[in-house]
Amino acid sequence: MKKSSIIEILITLSLVICFFILIVMRDTLSRQLFISGMFILVDIYVLIAFLSLVSDQRSKWLLAAAYIIISLYGYYGMFVAFERWRTDPGLASPLHNFTIGFAFTLLVSKFVLVLGLVIQDIGRLIYGTGQSMAGLFIDVSSENGFPQRRNFLTTAAATIAAVPFFSMLYGITFGKYNYTVEHLKLRFKDLPKAFKGLKVVQISDAHAGSWDSVDKVQQGITKINELKPDIVVFTGDLVNGNKNEIDPFINVFAAIEAPMGKYAVLGNHDYYGTPRDPNQEEAYWADFLNKYKKMGFDLILNENRAITKDGEQIKLIGVENWGAGRWFPKKGDLDKACEGCGENDFAILLSHDPTHFDEHVVDHSQKIHLTLSGHTHGMQFGVKFKNFKWSPVQYRYKKWMGLYEVKDQFLYVNRGFGFLGFPGRVGMWPEITCIELNT
């Protein structure tokens, strides 16, 4: 058996053992050091696989040098990401976002490749062990034992890993600003006639602290205005955690045109910058709310607004964030928000987190005809076709994107206007929702 095969099998066993050790490890510092060691082990493992695909020595040296440089750039991206989240640098730079995104891209691609290699190597290990055991009882060929990796299987694993690599590379360069308009027509028997044809445009989850281009965001705003909406609503998470993140984009959002008003609610991230000192809290929120006013948005906090037209009205209700997740703020008060609403009022609710719909909206005494939410982002990764949609986020949220109907009440979940964490979008492009109400 070749020396390279022994090394490959040993690294495979080490990675499997390390994975299970990591699961039971509790000390934070130890976990961080352990993960760092695993990264190095993974890079050695992947590099050996790549080197096995070329034969001449010069190519091996060039491939090794290229792999090391790219991997070091990926590790630098992780450092940049940590520093950015630890500090408050203001408007992100395109280079920083690309570097962080490239680090994510490498990480995911290596994971996919390693998974394919480990499956192959475990097969080799099982086969080789079986051959060795058989050799104790019968004569076996000297060529038997632990087989070498099959190049076509290694190439297949690398090809599969290339799919997320190039997809995510597109997502961090173009996909994150690939604003798409979703058109939706809804019919309601009790919609006041004056509001027939009302056009409501929804955006959500801006996460302004992640953006790196005012001009690109302006392109999305231009698309909103081209729809000629009657009302524009924003359903939470204006910022990642600091109110000042929106400052470079205030004039951009102020340019949104809606003759019947622009309205907004808060999302979970909008609370994360609240000062711990109670003496500073009031001033912080006064300044934050003033930013909404500068953008021309009426922030609805557990309240409602009457939208009137030709002597008829509908109620636009807004709640503060309420999410079923353990760590999410539960400040939304639907009872308070509905005060003053009549039993027969047509009602639209703005509520950031879609879990609020099942937990509090569906069975509430006030009938909510349409709830507009965001929050999930479609995980910024997935696929969407006419009759099929998939994203890993669906295993966390039952209602995660698009239109749902329960007990003659609609919920629409917008996949977001911005991005968070991973500075890109793959398949789950940033969304502008255009909803037309009819009878």
Residues 6+ apart with CB under 8 A from 46: 67, 110, 113, 114, 117
Same domain, 155 and 188: no
Check pLDDT > 50 for residue 84: yes
40 membership: H or E segment, kind and range: helix 28-51
Q: Which domain holds residue 361?
A: 175-438
pLDDT tens readout for residues 146-179: 566 778 888 898 999 999 999 999 999 999 999 9
pLDDT tens readout for residues 170-181: 999 999 999 999
Examine the fold and report which residue of 122, 154, 173 is the final residue of a domain before the chain moves on: 173
pLDDT tens readout for residues 360-402: 999 999 999 999 999 999 999 999 998 899 999 999 999 999 9
Examine the fold and report which residue of 173, 200, 223 is the final residue of a domain before the chain moves on: 173
Same domain, 323 and 232: yes
Same domain, 217 and 88: no
Check pLDDT > 70 for residue 19: no
Same domain, 329 and 360: yes
Question: Contact, 394 vs 369, CB < 8 A?
Answer: no
Examine the fold and report which residue of 129, 145, 173 is the final residue of a domain before the chain moves on: 173
Is the overall model pTM greater than 0.85, yes or no?
yes
Average of per-residue pLDDT across 19-31 = 61
Same domain, 117 and 190: no
Same domain, 158 and 188: no
Say what the pLDDT of residue 358 is: 96
Say what the pLDDT of residue 12 is: 64
Question: Contact, 50 vs 77, CB < 8 A?
Answer: no
Same domain, 139 and 215: no
Give the C-alpha separation, 359 to 332, whole Å. Answer: 12
Same domain, 169 and 223: no
Beta bridge partners of 433: 182, 202
Share of the chain above pLDDT 90, in %: 67
Spatial CA neighbour of 352 closest among 307, 397, 384? 397
Apex 96 CA angle, 91 and 97, nearest 5: 80
Count the Cβ atoms, other than its own, within 10 Å of residue 251: 12
Helices (H), 188-333: 214-226, 250-254, 278-295
Q: How confident is the model at residue 329 (pLDDT cuts 50, 70, 90)?
A: very high
pLDDT tens readout for residues 270-318: 999 999 898 999 999 999 999 999 999 999 999 999 999 999 999 999 9
Same domain, 162 and 179: no
Residues 6+ apart with CB under 8 A from 40: none
Helices (H), 296-407: 334-337, 355-356
Same domain, 154 and 239: no
Q: How far apart are the first and last CA of the chain?
A: 76
309 membership: H or E segment, kind and range: strand 303-309
pLDDT tens readout for residues 341-351: 998 999 999 99
Number of compact structural domains in the chain: 2
Q: How confident is the model at residue 124 (pLDDT cuts 50, 70, 90)?
A: confident
Mean pLDDT of all residues in the chain? 89
Say what the pLDDT of residue 43 is: 87
231 membership: H or E segment, kind and range: strand 231-235
- DSSP, residue by residue, 328-350: S-B---HHHHTTT--TT--EEEE
- Read off the CATH number of the domain in which 181 is found: 3.60.21
Same domain, 27 and 17: yes
Say what the pLDDT of residue 20 is: 62
Q: How confident is the model at residue 93 (pLDDT cuts 50, 70, 90)?
A: confident
Same domain, 378 and 362: yes
